[in-house]
Structure 1
Amino acid sequence: MKNSTLEILVGLFMIIGFCAFGYLALQLGEVSFLTSGSTYTIKAEFDNVAGVKKGASVQVAGVPVGSVADISLGEDDVAVLTLQLDNDLQVPTDSMASVKSQGIIGDKYIQLSLGGEEEMFKPGDVLRETESSLDIESLISKFAFGSAK
């Protein structure tokens, strides 16, 4: 009897351990079907998104509020970023998205400057008020070879 009680306790301990491990794996692994209820997506059209990668941070006032879910080429040869944003964040329709850099040669991220409009973007809407990234190499070469004005 004493042996079977010990085996039951060890079995329960193992089951609880596996459940805890599974929960942590799903939370840290950012499984898309579990997080989809807490986020929504909007698209942003840019002339140039050089250096922006899938998974790059989306920030408002330096606070991460989402990430870049996809990068594609849209109509009229513009870059289309799919931004996955937290449901808590409401983005007014007069907001602006800019490609920024963490330091001089750091990773690129998207900075959202929220507007003051009453109407908000709905999931799937397109943000067209954007500011593309600066191409540092071309600016330096223009300055170095005298074609900068």
Structure 2
Amino acid sequence: MKNSVEFLVGLFMIAGFTAFGYLALQLGEVSLFSDSKNYTIVAQFDNISGVKKGASVQVAGVVVGQVDKIWLDGTGVANIALKLSKDVELATDSMASVKSQGLIGDKFIALSLGGDEESFKDGDILTDTESAVDIESLISKFAFGDVK
């Protein structure tokens, strides 16, 4: 009787630790199980002005992915690796824009879906992009009368 209670308690503890470990991997930034649900494309921008790794990628205000990596290539172009859900089929004539949540909010990438029948595959490059609007330079141009 005593051995069976100890066995059940041990089994319960193992199940609890297993569930805790699984939740920690799913809710954390560990992508052991979720990589099969995502694909990555690279978007090239002239100016990303404040976009950070982990920023959201949105389509029509719905989060469909996140910024996975940011780097500068040899020609001075900013490259952003976008990790997108496989549920989202991104047509090859789609456009990526740097947007801001609110006036001085966090930056994110907004995708405008195209109508092409071909879709981006894992590792493809998206070159149809719209860089961030630099509010500071617009204000300085307006203040010093340089607006055209």
TM-score grouping bracket, smaller chain normalisation: over 0.9
Supply the distance in 1 between the matched residues of 2:6 and 2:94 (Cα, whole angstroms): 61
Supply the distance in 1 between the matched residues of 2:15 and 2:76 (Cα, whole angstroms): 53
Shift of 1:32: 2.0
Supply the distance in 1 between the matched residues of 2:33 and 2:11 (Cα, whole angstroms): 26
RMSD, matched Cα: 1.0
Shift of 1:141: 1.1
Structure with the larger helix share: 1
Q: What fraction of aligned residue pairs are identical, expressed as a percent?
A: 66
1:61 maps onto 2:60 in alignment: yes
Alignment map for 1:60-139 (pairs within 5 Å): 60-139=59-138
- Confirm or deny: 8 A CA contact 2:25 2:31 kept in the other structure: no
The worse-fitting range, judged by mean Cα deviation, of 67-76 and 107-116 is 67-76
Shift of 1:31: 1.7
The amino acid of 2:110's aligned partner reads: Q
Q: Deviations over 1:80-113 (max 9, x none)?
A: 1110000111111100000000000000000000
Unaligned segments of structure 2, at least 5 residues: none
Shift of 1:145: 1.8
Runs (4 or more) in structure 1 with deviation over 6 Å come to none
Q: Deviations over 1:34-59 (max 9, x none)?
A: 21100000001100001100011000
1:27 maps onto 2:37 in alignment: no
Supply the distance in 1 between the matched residues of 2:45 and 2:58 (Cα, whole angstroms): 17
Supply the distance in 2 between the matched residues of 1:27 and 1:123 (Cα, whole angstroms): 22
Unaligned segments of structure 1, at least 5 residues: none
